[in-house]
Amino acid sequence: QVQLVESGGGLVQAGGSLRLSCAASGRIVSINIMGWYGKAPGKQRELVASITSLGSTNYADSVKGRFTISRDNAKKMVYLQMNSLKPEDTAVYYCNLRVGSIGSWGQGTQVTVSS
């Protein structure tokens, strides 16, 4: 079983930055995809960014050029550097680890961007 714990959320003004972290523990297969998903009020949870165990990244169009996902395989960590934040980035951000079709989720961390 995999456990994921997010941290780093908070309240920030538009244009500001935050760095989210996710610590993974438990039985982790080395080949996996880790990602960040955001769930805004009244909307479905959507992929923000993902990164494979080999470092290939994928971003939602809305965050390209502003957010950067990275990971440290040795520490079993994944990060999301969020720059130039906008009010529409406000959401609960969830860490996800996927092996094939099986995914695990963290409890989420709130990011609120004020205008």
> Is residue 30's pLDDT more than 90?
no
> Is residue 90's pLDDT more than 90?
yes
- Strands (DSSP E) along the chain, which ranges? 2-7, 10-13, 18-26, 33-39, 46-52, 57-59, 67-72, 77-82, 91-99, 102-105, 109-114
The whole-number average pLDDT for the span 62-88 is: 97
| Average pLDDT over all residues of the chain | 96
> Is residue 28's pLDDT more than 90?
no
Q: What is the pLDDT of residues 41-58, one digit of tens each?
A: 999 999 999 999 999 999
